[in-house]
Amino acid sequence: VLSVAESPRRLVLGTREPGTRVPMLAAFDGERLLWRAELPSSEPLLAKEGEPVAVAVGSGRVLAAYERSDREELRVVCFELISGKRSWEVALPG
């Protein structure tokens, strides 16, 4: 669980269960769920099982990283903090 500045907002890192352990992110305002999202935008079963590798918050956006198991690559996803709208997803080179 990550706190967002000095507000009641919290980010929760986790996985979708039962079933496959796809990396997920959720945002809460106090006890109220604002949004939740699987990190992979497509082919969630190709994500390495487990929580997001890293998360950063700033300028109204949330960046979260996860690994793909098929390509041994790290991918970064950007969400809008308030709405949870996915802005972009990209593979990190190297």
Q: What is the pLDDT of residue 24?
A: 92
Whats the size of the chain, residue-wise?
94
pTM confidence score: 0.84
- Cα–Cα distance between 92 and 28 in angstroms, integer? 28
Mean pLDDT by 10 residues, the chain (94 residues): 70 78 90 93 86 89 90 90 94 79
> Can you point out the beta strands (E) in the chain?
2-3, 9-16, 22-29, 32-38, 54-58, 61-68, 73-80, 86-91
